[in-house]
Chains A and B, each alone.
Chain A
């Protein structure tokens, strides 16, 4: 029975679909659209990931086994094979595929509304019309409006650091989902999360307003931070020189849930990171993680207790947190 056909022409049961991805990705390692479609496919379910795990392992075993000599009957115990060949070139092309710069998975509707976006692992500095500077983390999309209503920057996705040009008459507002950060002239970072936003102030003074039932707000000065989750605002502190440390390619984590750390690594990794396990929200870690080398960052995480990272081909990492 053929099932699961999609526009990429991948059909059949999951095992056969995974085999089709293996063959097609190796055949066209430079095809970014195909790779983006693969990432969507592998993210569909654990069953898809399991099918890819099996396929990647069998592909490695095939490379390890090498070709069977022609014209010789198969001998189960013989390791005798003849013929020089280009071994494991299939794997080499897979590995090469990862090294090729990859344009981010399309953000769909977000992209259409954005004035500036960044792809996987990409940092970008944008000068806004009012002279303010926005530095975008990887996987970020922003839109900016400077009109009679004032200066409004929409953080559609991701994280950005701002150095706002001083203008008393026209407050600068950052809108991240339901939450608003209002400033006059200051340097701070805002990260949009699934359920709110995270704000950290490097210099000056900002006002964070959570647009919930209680419309909670917090005044933050340099070295202060706020985590907005729905209606709740949790205040914290941060060394001003550590605000938006991703600009230097590192994540400085102080007692955050493992799942949150993985979310920070994701925009830097060109494949798909699957995170599982009960400890994702309950287990907290601290440390400095190298974002420019996501595999190294994941390894560093794994050294903490009861976290395992399995590498499945160049495109899939499975993190299990017990």
Chain B
């Protein structure tokens, strides 16, 4: 499996794991997304023996780091560079992989932002909420085939946006 597949397969567990440290679902989201970027950078630099375990360690470090930073902010202190920052590989290829991965995620979000409201809602229900086409059709008051077309429009726009980068 490539890095992205390892990450996507572990994502649900990673979010649960991160939320145990942050205590906050939205912050867990941020931690997990940042973990993907660092994981991507690390796998570009070398072959990992235990990629999933490594991914969980990144999440743990980032979540603890966020927790510490929060504590410091509360004390109105901001001091040394965070521990997790040290986990960002500094060599050029992995740095580049980090930036590329961040660029890809930003492009997906850029594409989503451009979708018409109804299309975006259909796309999100299907891709992120695991809803069936018939449910989407019922909620939006459209036919099942139109619901499918709308989701496909979203996927196609993501593809086109990513292609333009190349």
Q: Does B151 lie within 8 Å of A23, measured CB to CB?
A: yes
- Say yes or no: A88-B11 contact (C-beta < 8 A), given A61-B104, A64-B4: yes
Q: Give residues of chain A (192-207) contacting chain B, Cβ–Cβ below 8 Å.
A: none
A76 adjacent to B110 (CB under 8 Å): yes
CB distance from A121 to the nearest CB of B (A): 21
A59 (CB) vs chain B CBs: closest residue: B155
From B45-53, B78-86, B88-96, B156-164, the one touching the partner chain is: B156-164
- Chain B residue at smallest Cβ distance from A73: B113
Contact status of A58 and B11, CB under 8 A, knowing A23-B148, A76-B110, A79-B30: no
Rounded to whole angstroms, the CA-CA distance of A147 and B110 in the bound complex is 72
Complex interface: chain B residues within 8 A of A76 (CB):
106, 110
Interface centre among B105, B128, B129 (most CB of A within 10 A): B128
* Whole-angstrom distance between the Cβ of B165 and the nearest chain A Cβ: 12
Most buried by B among A15, A59, A64, A91: A64
User: Which residue of chain A lies nearest to B25 when distances are taken between CB atoms in the complex?
Assistant: A84
In the complex, A8 has a CB within 8 A of chain B: no
B12 close to chain A: CB less than 8 A: yes
From B34, B112, B159, A15 is in contact (CB under 8 Å) with B159
CB distance from B138 to the nearest CB of A (A): 14
- Per the CB 8 Å criterion, the residue count for chain A at the interface is 45
Question: Which residues in window 18-74 of A have CB below 8 A to B?
Answer: 19-20, 22-24, 26-27, 54-55, 57-68, 73-74
Once the chains bind, are B159 and A55 in contact (CB under 8 Å)? yes
Contact present for A62 and B158 (CB under 8 Å): yes
Min distance, Cβ A56 to any Cβ of chain B, angstroms:
9
Q: How far is the CA of A311 from the CA of B124 in the complex (A)?
A: 25
Quick one: which of A26, A27, A79, A89 contacts B128, CB cutoff 8 A? Answer: A89
Total cross-chain contacts (CB, 8 A) = 128
Alpha-carbon gap, A92 to B15, bound state (A)? 14
Chain A residues 216 to 237 lying within 8 A of chain B, measured CB to CB, are none
Contact for B129 among A24, A86, A92, A311, CB less than 8 A: A86
Which residues on the A side are within 8 Å of B151 (C-beta)? 23
Instruction: For chain B, residues 127 to 153, give those with C-beta under 8 angstroms from any C-beta of chain A.
Output: 127-130, 132-133, 148, 151-152
- Tell me whether B108 is interfacial, beta carbon within 8 Å: yes
Whether A54 pairs with B8 at a CB distance below 8 angstroms is: no
Q: A283: shortest Cβ distance to chain B, in Å? A: 23
Most buried by B among A16, A19, A54, A57: A19
**Which listed residue, A22, A59, A61, A64, touches B11 by the CB 8 Å rule?**
A64
Task: Tell me the complex Cα distance, A106–B68, Å.
Answer: 59
B7 part of interface (Cβ distance < 8 Å): yes
Cβ B105 vs Cβ A19 within 8 A? no
Q: Do A23 and B7 contact each other (CB < 8 Å), given the known contacts A65-B105, A67-B124, A86-B128?
A: no
- In the complex the two chains form, is B156's CB within 8 Å of A66's CB? no
Of B106, B112, B127, B129, most buried by chain A (CB within 10 Å of CB) is B127
Question: Once bound together, how far apart are the Cα atoms of A73 and B102, in whole Å?
Answer: 18
B69 interface hit (Cβ, 8 Å): no
- A310–B2 CA distance with the chains assembled, in angstroms: 8
- Pick the most buried of B102, B104, B109, B112: most chain A CB atoms within 10 A of its CB: B109
Interface flag for B5 (CB, 8 Å): yes
Cα distance, A16 to B148, chains bound together (Å)? 11
Please state if A23 and B11 are interface contacts (CB–CB under 8 Å): no
A81 contact from B11, B29, B104, B130, Cβ within 8 A: B29
A160 to B27, CA, bound (A): 57
What residues on A are CB-neighbors of B126 within 8 Å?
Answer: 23, 26-27, 90
B109→A23 contact, CB < 8 A:
no
Whether A54 lies near B113 (C-beta < 8 A) is no
User: Chain A residues with Cβ under 8 A from B29's Cβ?
Assistant: 66, 81-84
* Cβ contact within 8 Å between B9 and A91: yes
Q: Which B residues are CB-close (under 8 A) to A60?
A: 4-5, 8
Asked whether B26 is an interface residue with its Cβ less than 8 Å from the other chain, the reply is: yes
A-B contact pairs, 7 of them (CB 8 A): A15-B159, A24-B148, A60-B5, A64-B105, A67-B112, A74-B110, A85-B128
